[in-house]
Amino acid sequence: AAGVIQSPRHLIKEKRETATLKCYPIPRHDTVYWYQQGPGQDPQFLISFYEKMQSDKGSIPDRFSAQQFSDYHSELNMSSLELGDSALYFCASSLGYNQPQHFGDGTRLSIL
Amino acid sequence: RKEVEQDPGPFNVPEGATVAFNCTYSNSASQSFFWYRQDCRKEPKLLMSVYSSGNEDGRFTAQLNRASQYISLLIRDSKLSDSATYLCVVNMGGGSYIPTFGRGTSLIVHP
């Protein structure tokens, strides 16, 4: 069965650069979530979209923005990257809100 | 105080043992509950949803106690492959559905 696809798997950037992470949800899933997971931490909710509209916002810095496109894929744009942004970034999708989420493999972002 | 709390463990148990984890949540309006497992540096994988009446999937049983605001996960006949971190997730109610993770409980099953 198709799963959530994230790209790239690994990304290395320098401070103050920008990065774009992509997420392709499971077909027919209408809800997408973004999470940030630092070493030894639990996943922190950043933002979610339902039917291409922003639904809820968590601890997403102002330097980050995200959107969901007409084909339901989503992108997380990160600017003015800081060392503390180094983390695993997960995308998840679900069929409807308040439903079980299915996670992608994640993007490992390293800031030098 | 974190909104969703779990004992981080580790729980160190022999193969074949029964082990139980609890997860408490602070928002009484919370609406949906899930258990995930996460292996080191991998994505969380859905283990099971937690229903009000309790539910079972093979060796795994999940229960919800709304009065005391906790969910539990029971694993019977532990296998080496059950070694992982178990995360509970609570969708906070009150008009938003922000999923909140606990910090996870580490389980180590040894021969």
| Residues B49-85 pLDDT 10s | 998 888 999 999 999 999 999 999 999 999 999 999 9
- Distance of alpha carbon A55 from alpha carbon A49, whole angstroms: 5
For residue A42, which residues of chain B lie inside 8 Å, CB to CB?
Answer: 87, 101-104
Q: Specify whether the CB–CB gap between A66 and A76 falls below 8 A.
A: yes
Chain A residues with CB under 8 Å of a chain B CB are: 33, 41-45, 48, 55-56, 58, 88, 90, 97-106
Q: What percent of chain B has pLDDT over 90?
A: 78
- Classify residue B7 by burial, with Cβ atoms within 10 Å: 0-12, 13-18, 19+: middle
How would DSSP label each residue in B9-76? --EEEETT--EEEEEEES-TT--EEEEEEE-TTS--EEEEEE-TT-EEETTEEEEEETTTTEEEEEE-
Residues within 8 A of A (CB atoms), B 40-59 only? 41-46, 49
> Hey, what are B14's tokens?
């022999």
Q: Are A42 and B99 inside 8 Å of each other by CB?
A: no
Tens-digit pLDDT string for chain A (112 aa): 789 999 999 999 999 999 999 999 999 999 999 999 998 899 999 999 999 999 989 989 999 999 999 999 999 999 999 999 999 999 999 998 788 999 999 999 999 9
Residue entry with tokens 């309006």: B29
- Distance of alpha carbon A85 from alpha carbon B37, whole angstroms: 24
> Hey, what are B40's tokens?
């080191």
How do beta strands B19-25 and B70-75 pair? antiparallel
Q: Are B44 and A41 inside 8 Å of each other by CB?
A: no
Kindly report the nearest CA distance between residue B66 and chain A, in angstroms. 17
| Residue of B46, B103, B104 with shortest CB distance to A102 | B46
For residue B101, which residues of chain A lie inside 8 Å, CB to CB?
Answer: 42-45
